[in-house]
């Protein structure tokens, strides 16, 4: 009699254990289903407040896994109406910081006001225009929108569409 009871208890505990494990696995699978796919996360927007940027200061942020250069131009830097993002009364370069030769990340050289690519010696001016070496074209401008002093990367605003139309 005592043996039967303990066997029943064992079966009950074993079944309960299987049910608990099954429940945990089901919850894990449900979470995976609910979580956004990596591609959806990567499509997110990034907002940047431009107001703290000083003249001549370069800030690099990451958007969709790419470096984005934000440079507030100084009076000495050549303006480029086909590429500059005008916010308030300041001009900014907003550039995907990847060399258009083979994709290295160029460095900003404040003394010469240019971007230099260490991989094969490519050079770009402060607007991201290729000026020397193997890069075949200017660095790309990411889609953006201006909202007051805020730059929204990943959204095609009217300012971006105007630049693209001029290109």
Where are the strands (E) in the chain, listed by range?
Answer: 46-49, 58-63, 66-72, 85-87, 90-96, 107-109, 114-116, 123-125, 130-132, 144-147, 150-153
- Residues facing residue 49 across a β-bridge: 150
Kindly tell me which of 48 and 98 has the beta carbon lying closer to ligand FES: 98
- Residues facing residue 26 across a β-bridge: none
In the list 50, 68, 99, 139, the residue contacting ligand FES (rule: CB under 6 A) is 99
Please report, as residue ranges, which positions from 25 to 64 form the binding site for ligand FES (by CB under 6 A).
none
Residues in the chain: 167
List, in order, residues 6 or more apart from 136 with CB less than 8 Å away: 100, 101, 130
Sole window of 24-32, 94-102, 137-145, 159-167 interacting with ligand FES (rule: CB under 6 A): 94-102
Residue 67 touches ligand FES, criterion: CB under 6 A:
no
Sole window of 34-42, 61-69, 100-108, 141-149 interacting with ligand FES (rule: CB under 6 A): 100-108
Sole window of 13-21, 62-70, 115-123, 156-164 interacting with ligand FES (rule: CB under 6 A): 115-123
How many residues sit in the footprint of ligand FES (CB under 6 A)?
A: 11
In the list 72, 83, 101, 145, the residue contacting ligand FES (rule: CB under 6 A) is 101
- Tokens 């608990």 -> residue: 20
């Amino acid at each position: 009699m005592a043996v039967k009871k303990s066997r029943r208890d064992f079966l009950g505990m074993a079944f309960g254990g299987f049910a608990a494990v099954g429940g945990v696995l089901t919850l894990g699978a449900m979470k995976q289903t609910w979580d956004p796919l990596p591609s959806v996360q990567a499509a997110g927007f990034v907002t940047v407040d431009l107001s703290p940027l000083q003249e001549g200061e370069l800030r690099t942020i990451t958007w969709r896994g790419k470096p984005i250069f934000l440079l507030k131009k100084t009076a000495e830097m050549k303006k480029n109406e086909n590429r500059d993002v005008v916010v308030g009364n300041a001009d900014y370069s907003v550039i995907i910081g990847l060399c258009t030769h083979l994709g290295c990340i160029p460095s900003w050289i404040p003394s010469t006001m240019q971007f230099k690519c260490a991989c094969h010696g490519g050079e770009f001016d402060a607007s991201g225009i290729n000026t020397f070496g193997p890069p075949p074209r200017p660095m790309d401008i990411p889609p953006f929108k201006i909202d007051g002093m805020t730059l929204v990367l990943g959204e095609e605003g009217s300012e971006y569409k105007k630049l693209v139309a001029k290109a």
